[in-house]
Amino acid sequence: MPKFAANISLLFAELPYLDRFQAAAEAGFKAVEILFPYDLAAKETHRALLANGLDLVLINAPPPNYTGGDPGYAAVPGGEGRFQSDIRRVLRYAQVLRPGLIHIMSGYSSGPDAFECMVHNLQWAADLAPQQQFTIEPLNPVSQPDYFLNDYNLAADILDRVSRPNVGLQYDSFHAHMIHGDALQVWEQFHPRVVHAQVGAAPDRSEPGRGPTDFAQLFNAMTSSGYSGWVSAEYTPSTSRTVHSLGWM
């Protein structure tokens, strides 16, 4: 079976942030991912990881825009300067936290200029930190209206143009089903590009075992495809306590 990590931005949310690391370890997870670990000093998160013997699989970019202004990121033309500044901020966190992956979000835009902007921004980030692995992830238009990267075929086209060994595809069963209607089919088509996987049930992003996706079949497909990366549980538990939602494991 795949090796599972816990997204502690969503799992164990009934606990204070720093207590979630111990809860994840006690539940049997060996690694975690954190969507936006920027509200605390990186050294505090690092201590919690070390104390509980956990690897940090992934964090998201951008960090919060504390100065205000319109949201935007890799695929937003005209925002290249802010993109570069924010990537440098994220990499300062990464120097302490040592995440295996940094997910670079596209932001909200559309059209060919947005495509070119995202390609160039990803190339810049990849070349700035060639030892760091980056990912891009399609998000579905129901959950994220107007998000630029909203299709796996589009993600493949971007990766072809970026053509950097340290930029890969992030697969999410919830978004895959919501976008294309069949999470397993998306895995079978795109798994050679996948460097990180996440699971949650459509349409409510609850734990695996609910909704239309056959997760036993999906996990078998991941194993048989030779995928050796982490599979992160990224869902909102339907139970009041996260541990009661982990029967799928």
Annotated catalytic sites, by residue?
Answer: 137, 234
**Dihedral (Cα; 15, 18, 20, 24), 10-degree rounding:** -160
Token output for 115: 């495509």
Q: Which residues pair with 31 in a beta bridge?
A: 55
Cβ atoms 247, 2 nearer than 8 A: no
Token output for 156: 């493949």
Q: Which of 74, 52, 50 is nearest to 62 (CA)?
A: 74
Name residues whose C-beta falls within 8 Å of residue 225's C-beta, 6 or more positions apart in sequence. Answer: 187, 188, 191
> What distance in Å separates the CA atoms of residue 194 and residue 176, rounded to the nearest whole number?
13
Q: What crossing angle do the helices spanning 173-180 and 183-190 adopt, rounded to 10°? A: 100
Burial of 191 from C-beta contacts in 10 A (0-12 / 13-18 / 19+): middle
Question: Among positive and negative, which fits the CA dihedral 112, 191, 220, 53?
Answer: negative
Distance from the first to the final alpha carbon of the chain: 10
